[in-house]
Amino acid sequence: MLSPFLLVYAASGMLAADTPWPVNGGPDNIRYSKLKQITPANVGQLRVAWTWDANEAFKDSEMQSNPIVLDGVMYVTTPKMHAVALDARTGKEIWKFDLSNGDKIQRRFRHRGVTVTKDRVFANYRQYLWALDRKTGKPIQKFGDDGRIDLRKGLDRPFEQLSVGASSPGVIYGDLIIMGSAVPETLPGAPGDIRAYDINTGAMRWTFHTIPHPGEFGYDTWPPEAWKINGGANAWAGLSVDAKLGMVFAATGSASFDFYGANRHGDNLFADTILALDAKTGKRIWHFQGVKHDVWDLDFPAAPSLVTVTRDGKKVEAIAQITKTGFVFVLDRRTGKPLFPIEYRKVPASTVDGEKLAETQPYPVKPPPFTRQNFTEDMITNRTPEAHAAVLAAVRKIDAGSMYTPPSLRGTMLFPGTDGGGEWGGAANDPETGLLYVNSNEQPWIIRLVTQDTTSLYRNNCSGCHRDDLKGAPPTFPSLVDIGKRRGKEELVKYINEGTGRMPGFSHLGRGVGEIVDFLLTGKDSGTVAKKDAYWQKYRNEGYILFRDPEGYPPLTPPWGTLNAIDLNKGEIRWQIPLGEYPELVAKGIKDTGSDNYGGPVVTASGLLFIGATNFDKKFRAFDKLTGKLLWETTLPAAGNATPAIYEIGGREYVVIVCGGGKNDAPSGSSIVAFALPETK
């Protein structure tokens, strides 16, 4: 019997989707398509097949969905948090559901799409995970509470005071949806437990504690009470599942607080760890920790890619894990055994009292890093003599060197940076050649530790991102100067209680939220003494500072962004090219610099690599996958800070990308553009 979706499309004369894009990142999370209609020979003939605009863009809004396509229907999320179903052949809207349940959204949310299975679509808004009917977009009432569950519950802490969400969609195994989470990077925070829920009822079926409880493996790598107090160690970048092996793979982030770990002495398993779990039970099968006792915010930025590599003439099922540091860890999928040697090398010790860092960190011998890892003065920008002199003076006032230079009271350059190296867009893998494709950033940040202030709720809770002077580091951490001219008191109270974008909620402060708002509106600090509780630490960060030259460009010599092809069989970089440009520099003859880029690539069996990602030139490009030669490019309505999807309907192949922009002062958008070859009559 035909499904309701096939009946709809049969009645309209349209065939069901021949080749879907069924999951985030494509099957095996390798962003690979077997389709061959679009080739290096004809890619130059690509034309816009359709465009759809949510008309929801606002200042700094983002839209980062990897579109899911099943049975001729495309599913995405929008800047104002609607889940949408579109006709994947024409872009015509089928249904739209407001995930915010009527909330008036004028604040940025990072969201990377939905999970689709059987008759339902899973999507989340803040702490709520919704189950929607695929045909109608209406909540499935039998799932949780009227169609949604609260991700704050079941974490062994009072849920009302927790900030928990999910920017990346979950994965399906049997009748389970398995979820990572997005939690605060400050204290108090929430633990980053990985959890599985029944897709029909929403009941929690299993939990893996990423901060181990008493008696669990890894408990001795934390202080005894850490499981009650510390947060983070969360799989914010999503998960990958191998249904054949019955395994789910996660790559976790750092523990909270990011930059000072005096209250979490030890290696801190399972933070910054690649985890292999039994998908049915959540039990640990193996693990590999990529950073011990992280104080650099070196979260694994993407879920593991399930790849197959050749060793001694034999095929080996493996995982490839990209990193912010530019490393790629290649591990046996069943056992976690490294497929290339890994050396544990000594790293600098901290000079900050109370801190105790790990003496060594793991360095894979192969493949070589795909980004520069050590900052030296000969890398300082030469774009202009003035820029060089200004950056040199700034560098000599802080600690700069290796990627493991510890945070300090003097100030430390984080390089490649908290947005450096590999990004959340993930890597693409070509099973035919064993090449792994990853785009990369080189963006130094400056972190400075300062002593906690016992007299100001604002400074202790907000200045780590927005700075003591309220100027922030726009647009990632917006300025709060004159915020009262843009937001009302009630709106500010709501933002601080609930959180917005990457900012967690601070409802645990109770009446203190009102005092912070009064300070923002009047400039008069209440003088309330910040309580020295279990979460108290001697130091906080002064603020996140994206290091730029005086004119706003990266402070080092190009390339500032790259696209890399890495041979996983040999452990070699096959090719590396700059990715992205600054149009105003191109006008001055400064080309091929590379630029900030967010969102991943897709590779095809026909020989192509498609990628948007570049932040300022708004280009969508196609490269020869074997050589890196540019074959086609077009300009998008806004930067394609998302991973494309490739699918086929009725014998026609489509390449589609979401155009949301909004990163690092780039203009925002809310459209989707699908490309295809001209139809033949």
pLDDT of residue 542: 87
List the chain residues with pLDDT less than 50. 1-17
Q: Which two tokens stand for residue 358?
A: 């790990």
The whole-angstrom separation of Cα 88 and Cα 411 is 50
pLDDT tens-place string over residues 326-342: 999 999 999 999 999 99
The whole-angstrom separation of Cα 440 and Cα 443 is 10
pLDDT tens-place string over residues 254-284: 999 999 999 999 999 999 999 999 999 999 9
* Helix (H) / strand (E) containing 575: strand 572-578
In a domain, 510, yes or no: yes
* Closest by CA position to 193, among listed 143, 241, 156: 156
In a domain, 506, yes or no: yes
Domain of 504: which CATH number? 1.10.760.10
Rounded (5°) CA angle 469-474-478: 65
In a domain, 57, yes or no: no
In a domain, 481, yes or no: yes
Q: CB–CB of 100/81 below 8 Å? A: yes
Q: How far apart are the first and last CA of the chain?
A: 32
Give bridge partners of residue 343 from the DSSP assignment: 363
Q: Which two tokens stand for residue 264?
A: 């979490």
The whole-angstrom separation of Cα 469 and Cα 89 is 51
Q: CB–CB of 478/536 below 8 Å? A: no
DSSP 353-404: TT----SEEEEESSSPPSS--S--GGGB--SSHHHHHHHHHHHTTSB-SSTT
Give bridge partners of residue 597 from the DSSP assignment: 614
In a domain, 589, yes or no: no
* Closest by CA position to 164, among listed 202, 196, 191: 191
DSSP 437-466: EEEEE---EEE-EEE--TT-HHHHHTHHHH
Q: CB–CB of 421/441 below 8 Å? A: yes
Q: Quote the distance between the C-alpha of residue 374 and its chain's center.
A: 24
What are the phi and psi torsion angles at 559 (to 5°)? -85, 145
Decide the pairing of beta strands 602-604 and 32-33.
parallel
Q: CB–CB of 193/207 below 8 Å? A: yes
The whole-angstrom separation of Cα 368 and Cα 371 is 9
Q: Which two tokens stand for residue 493?
A: 């109270």
In a domain, 614, yes or no: no
Q: Which two tokens stand for residue 593?
A: 């610099």
- Taking the CA atoms of 224, 225, 229 and 234 in sequence, report the sign of the dihedral they define: positive
From residue 444, give the alpha-carbon distance in Å to each of 270, 412, 661.
Answer: 26, 10, 21
Q: Which two tokens stand for residue 228?
A: 């009650």
Q: CB–CB of 267/358 below 8 Å? A: yes
In a domain, 518, yes or no: yes
**680 Cβ contact partners less than 8 Å away, ≥ 6 residues apart:** none
Q: Ramachandran region of residue 282, left (φ > 0), alpha (ψ -120 to 50) or beta?
A: left
**274 Cβ contact partners less than 8 Å away, ≥ 6 residues apart:** 249, 250, 251, 287, 288, 289, 290, 300, 304, 319, 321, 329, 331, 336
pLDDT of residue 2: 36
Owning domain of residue 525: 453-536
Query: For residue 419, how many other CB atoms are within 10 A of its CB?
Result: 24
Q: Helix, strand, or coil here: 519?
A: helix
In a domain, 218, yes or no: no
**138 Cβ contact partners less than 8 Å away, ≥ 6 residues apart:** 97, 132, 147
The whole-angstrom separation of Cα 658 and Cα 644 is 7
Instruction: Give the number of domains in the chain.
Output: 1
Give bridge partners of residue 33 from the DSSP assignment: 604
Give bridge partners of residue 17 from the DSSP assignment: 649
Length in residues, the chain: 681
pLDDT of residue 478: 75
Q: Which two tokens stand for residue 167?
A: 């920017």
What are the phi and psi torsion angles at 342 (to 5°)? -125, 125
What strands, in cross-sheet order, belong to the sheet with 645-649? 17-19, 645-649, 652-661, 668-676, 47-53
The whole-angstrom separation of Cα 538 and Cα 372 is 33
Give bridge partners of residue 644 from the DSSP assignment: none
* Closest by CA position to 306, among listed 268, 279, 282: 279
Q: Which two tokens stand for residue 514?
A: 């009102």
pLDDT of residue 6: 40
Q: CB–CB of 298/324 below 8 Å? A: yes
